[in-house]
Amino acid sequence: MEDIKYKRVFLKLSGEALAKKDSQTGEIKEIFDPEMISDIASSIKKCCDMGVGFGIMIGAGNIWRGKFGQGVNRAKADHMGMLATTINCLRMQDALQKCGIDAVVMSAVSMTDFAESFNYEKAIAYIKEGRPVIFACGAGIPYISTDTAGVVRALEIDADIILMAKNIDGVYSADPAVDKSAVRYKVISYKSCLDAGLKATDASASAIAMERGIDTLVFPLREKNSIKLAITGNNIGTLVTAQDIPSETY
């Protein structure tokens, strides 16, 4: 069995990672891609079988995005987004259960017919039992992104690292689709990201993670076995670190 670098992880998935997209335009065609969701669940199961504990948070970009909320009160729009994350969490729970993993959904907003109310001590207990916990509704309050809520939940469950699965293979010095000279970082500090205005995570998420000393590994979800590769410490993606150290590029 391969060595595990991270024993307890917090996996942050974008809602768009669950969506079926047009292969040419990248536009979302359907809110769920059953094959992709099944692949993610299978990858998580493999890591659980290796003894890795999971906290998971999923965004809502496949169902609800900012542009849909134009003209809607911001707090109300954020509440709608929280409900969308719950739909994604229940869909992932179902996929994990079909893989034989007894996942639990915990919500920051009370909806006891669908999910347990969030309690960090119970969440830790479930994770110790080998049951992934999927966190719905972000932090439960408006104006707080799932990136920021994810850092808070990662700290609450005492995760070793935040695994941020993206549609891109790491953090770049600029948008590689626009700037062909952009370089991909192997390691970069939160401070450098904030100073350069890089969007590895939200600024508030980076600031909290930097202050509390938890690293984030930004990696490509669609690469084969990427979750397992990240957990076993393979050279994948970009490590965004709380340490104030020089950046390294590939």
C-alpha dihedral over 109, 110, 113, 114, to 10 degrees?
A: 20
Q: How far apart are CA 76 and CA 149, in angstroms?
A: 18
d(C-alpha 38, C-alpha 56), whole Å: 15
What whole-number percentage of the chain has pLDDT above 90?
80
Expressed in angstroms, the distance from the first to the final Cα of the chain is 28
Please, which residues have CB within 8 angstroms of residue 55's CB and are 6 or more apart in sequence?
A: 8, 9, 10, 11, 123, 127, 132, 133, 135, 153, 154, 157, 159
Residue 109 Cα to chain centre, angstroms: 19
Q: Average pLDDT of 89-116?
A: 97
Residue-level pLDDT at 136: 98
Say whether pLDDT at 94 is over 70. yes
For the segment 218-232, what is each residue's pLDDT rounded down to a tens digit?
A: 999 888 889 999 999
- Over residues 207-223, the mean pLDDT reads 94
| Digit-coded pLDDT (tens) for 182-198 | 999 999 999 999 999 99
CA distances 49 to 2, 135, 226, 236, Å, are: 12, 21, 16, 21
**For residue 68, what pLDDT is reported?**
67
pLDDT digits (tens, 9 = 90+) for 144-178: 999 999 999 999 999 999 999 988 899 999 998 89
User: Using 50, 70 and 90 to split pLDDT, how confident is the model at 1?
Assistant: low
Written as six digits, the tokens of 101 are: 């993993």
Assigned token pair, 167: 């549609």
- How far apart are alpha carbons 152 and 97 in whole angstroms? 26
Element (H, E) at 20: strand 20-21
Calpha distance 233→193 (Å, rounded) = 22
